[in-house]
Structure 1
Amino acid sequence: MVTVEEAQTVTETEHRSVPLPAPVAEGIMYERLVVHLIAHAQRQHEKIETMTAQMTDLVARIVALEAASGGQPA
């Protein structure tokens, strides 16, 4: 039986990072973007709900003030 061994050479490669003046997007991973969009939509929904409640309260206060003054503008 004859065993043949191949010569193995080790090559080293040097990788250098060169910073860009401004980052450039090479693409978008849409499957990762969805999570952030859902969170943003939830925050927007909460903000809209809060502002709607504040507006309803303010309208009720205006109606009460107008009723107390007899409907006459100040």
Structure 2
Amino acid sequence: MSSQRHATRAVQSLSLERKVRMHEAREAIINRLAPNIHSEIDLDKFLSAIVAELGRMMEVDRCDVLQLVQ
């Protein structure tokens, strides 16, 4: 097998691994947010949970979510 094919397969493998990690991260986020979601959503509590999770994911000290109203 040529080195170009090896390189192509390596890139495809890395891409697939990245997709799997992203999927696992999304699933973990949903699992952490799920306890905060009830039949009647407390919007402030839900948004606070989202902001906290975004801050954790991005490894930042501060994070804001803006609600756009039309």
Structure-2-length-normalised TM-score: 0.51
CA RMSD of aligned residues (A): 1.5
2:11 corresponds to which residue? 40
- Deviation (angstroms), 1:54: 0.5
Q: Which has the higher contact order (CA 8 A, sep 6+)?
A: 2
What is the total number of aligned residue pairs between the two structures? 42
List per-residue Cα deviations over 1:9-67 (Å, max 9, x = no partner).
xxxxxxxxxxxxxxxxxxxxxx4311100001001111110110010111122221223
Question: Counterparts of 1:3-18 in structure 2 under 5 Å?
Answer: none
1:72 corresponds to which residue? 42
One-letter code aligned to 1:51: M
Q: State, as a whole percentage, how many aligned pairs show the same letter.
A: 10
Structure-1-length-normalised TM-score: 0.49
Q: Which has the higher helix share?
A: 2
2:25 is the alignment partner of 1:59: no
One-letter code aligned to 1:72: D
Structure 2, unaligned stretches of length 5 or more? 45-70
Structure 1's consecutive aligned runs of 4 or more residues displaced over 6 angstroms after TM superposition are none
Q: Which has the larger radius of gyration?
A: 1
